[in-house]
Every structure is written in structure tokens, then in C-alpha cells.
A = this chain, B = another copy of it.
Amino acid sequence: MTATPLPAVDRTLGVTAPRGFRAGAATCGVKASGRPDLAVLAADADVPAAALFTTNRVVGAAVQVSREHLARRRTMRGVVATSGNANTCTGPQGLADAREILAGVARELGCPADALLLAQTGIIGRPMPMDKVRPGIRPACAALAAGPQADAAFVQAIMTTDTRPKQAGVRLDLAGHTVTVAGATKGVGMIEPNMATTLSFLTTDAAVGPDLLHAMLRAAADQTYHCLTVDGHASTSDTLALLASGAAMPGGRPVAEGSAEAAALQAALTAVCADLAYQIAADAEGGTKVIEVLVTGAATDAEARAAARAIANSPLVKCAFFGRDPNWGRIVSAAGAAGISSRPETMRLALGDVVVFEGGVPVAADAQALARVMAGHDIRAHLDLGAGPGQARYLTCDFSYDYVKINAEYTT
């Protein structure tokens, strides 16, 4: 939980809102829908970069190559993304294809290939159709521009089954400079919704060194992306990348760790990530509601997290929210099975502002008030375990017929 209150975000700000970045896209035909599927985000020069990747042991070729590049150098020229094929479980050929894509973009940008990160999302276990991707590289790079249209082109090209583009930004004053933090993300399958594959690309024109940038990205992710679940199935391609051009602070000193500027920038970054994560939950496959699971009073933050995650991932809890059923026994029992050390006698559960369980016994709740809470689109379930200072917050969605439809009826 952050101490600093988070600033409001502006969803008209996309990845090129911070100075020093351009974006472009092309349609290669990897997606069966015929929508744009190759996206390039380029900084004007090599800039400090940080990225977090999936912790899945089975990872796509893009994640392997990107990790390799980030291990070799701390500044990057840009990021390339393809959608429609995850290039995962594709062996040595998949790796070669990933490298070939980056080599092609590097030629156009005039940078070394290892100054680029790659992210890929889509079906697992199919070879990359390189005959389609190759011809798209030059047009995508030729289209590089800054501004709302470029932002829109970029975010469209990373979508799979997303029904809405997802971007957000924050402008803030940093030691007299107007700085912008912005990002674009995608989440949840396509015609091949293999998994809730999240790709997220963040930019800022603040001047930040790579170490602090990485620490800030991790802190933001821990409170946002790492507390988001649609179906508990971690993808093989998840990538969260952040580039910092410094273009809004020409001649200024980079933001220093522990400074007031660092705190303000962290809050802006966390606010952007929180809003992008919210947009993913709100567009989740088959989801009709966004559920915020807040657990407080746990013995430790880790226990709070385990309880929040168990509640957010329980199909029984998610189905109840879909059915507007205030079936709080499912919430309490999901927490109880999560390895926590609390006892029901000290627990207190509220749905919205209606307390339903306290001190080990049901509370006679106002049925009409409860029905109003359950009918809402955004619902908070707040479980206080009454055992200590630990807390955690998870964001999830409900579970509907459409989740089953989307994930059963598509056939490989």
C-alpha cells in the first residue's frame, strides 16, 4: 500500500505523450481479424529502461530475447510488439524468428538489435508466420510519429480479444519541469484467448537512471499488476516495460532515490499502472463487474495477500458476484483455506458499506442495501482479519457464462 495518495489519471494520454517517443503500427495478417498486429515504440535515443516479465517457467521466445538484451545493456531504443501469436513453445525456430524481427526493426531505426525489447501475445505452440511479419516491419517504422493518432495505432496493434484500447497517463511537476508518465496495455485473449496475457508499455520523459527506474517499476507493479487476476492463470508472455527519455528535463539532474521528486514520480507511475490494471479487470473475458478485494488486519502482508488472492481466484466467489448473490460464506471460507493464521471470531466482512459477518457470526444486514451493492458494477469486498497490521488489495472480475463461452468455444 502506498502512503502517497495517487494522482488522477488522464486516459487521453498514450505512450507518446511523454516527450522523446514515437509509435507506429502495421497490419501483417498474423491476426485473423485483419486488425493491426505489429507495433513499434521508439525513443529518440537510447534511454534508461526497466522491464518485468512473467515468472512462468514456460516463456515465449520474446521474453527470452528481451531478458537477454536487458542483461547486456541498461538503455534501450525501443520496444516491438506483435499480437496474434505468442511464439511460445516454438523451440529454436521461435527464438530465431524473434531475433529476426528485432534485427529488421533495428535496421530501420539505425540501432543495434539488442537495444530493442520484444513482446508477443496470442496462441501458444504455433510457428510465427514470418512471411507475413517480414513485410510489415518497414511500414510500421515508417509510420513512427507522436500524438494521439500514433498512441491509438500503437494500442490497437497490441490488442487481442480486448474489446477496448487501454491507455492512461499522468502529468506532474517535477522540480519545475512538467513531466508525463503514460502507458498502454492489453489483456485477455483474442480469437485464441490462450490466457490473460498482459503486455504493458510505459513511457516517461522524466530523467531517471536505470536502477531507480527498475525499483520504481517493481514497486508500482507490486501494488497493481501483481494484484490483478482474471482467472489465476499466469501467462507465458507477460511483459511490463518502462522507458524514460528524460526529454522533459533537459540539462536537469536525474531524479534521485529517496527525493521528493522520486516519491511524486512513483505515485504517478503507480497511478498509471493502477488505472491500466483496472482497465484490464473491467474488460476481462466475460466479466460484467470489477471486484476489489481488500484484506486488512492480517498477521502479515503476505497472509493478507494470500487471502486476497484466494478470494479473487475462487470460481465460487466470482460466480456469486455474477449472480448478484451476497454469498459471503464463500468469501470467508476462501480466506480460511489460504493458510492464514486468523480465526473467524476476529473477522469482519463488508460488501460495499454493508457489514455481513463480524465476530464469528452473521450480521443481520439490510437486504435492500445489500442488493444495491451487489447490483453495482464496481464492488468492494473488505475482509478485516482482526489479527495484525498486514494488508493487501486485489482486483478481479466476476465469472459469467461468457467466460466459459469464450474459452470453450474457440477451437484450436
A residues contacting B by CB (< 8 A) are 54-59, 86, 88-91, 93, 123-126, 189-190, 192-195, 231-236, 313-317, 319-320, 322-330, 332-337, 340-345, 356-357, 359-362, 399-401, 403-412
Contacts of A412 in B (CB 8 A): 325-329
A-B contact pairs, 18 of them (CB 8 A): A55-B337, A58-B332, A88-B329, A90-B361, A90-B362, A93-B361, A124-B330, A124-B332, A190-B316, A194-B330, A231-B315, A233-B317, A315-B407, A316-B407, A323-B411, A329-B412, A400-B404, A404-B404
**Of B314, B400, B407, which is within 8 A of A233 by CB?**
B314
Apart from A323-B410, A325-B410, A401-B405: 15 A-B pairs, beta carbons within 8 A: A55-B337, A57-B335, A57-B336, A57-B341, A57-B343, A58-B332, A58-B336, A88-B329, A89-B329, A89-B344, A190-B333, A315-B399, A319-B403, A322-B408, A400-B404
Q: Classify the interface of chain A: helix, strand, loop or mixed.
A: loop
C-alpha spacing A410/B329, complex, angstroms: 13
* Centre residue among A58, A334, A412 by max chain B CB count within 10 A: A58
Beta-carbon contact of B232 and A89 below 8 Å:
no
Beta-carbon contact of A407 and B323 below 8 Å:
yes
Beta-carbon contact of A357 and B403 below 8 Å:
no
C-alpha spacing A193/B86, complex, angstroms: 35
Q: How far is the CB of A403 from chain B (nearest CB, A)?
A: 7
Beta-carbon contact of B333 and A411 below 8 Å:
no
Q: How far is the CB of A319 from chain B (nearest CB, A)?
A: 4
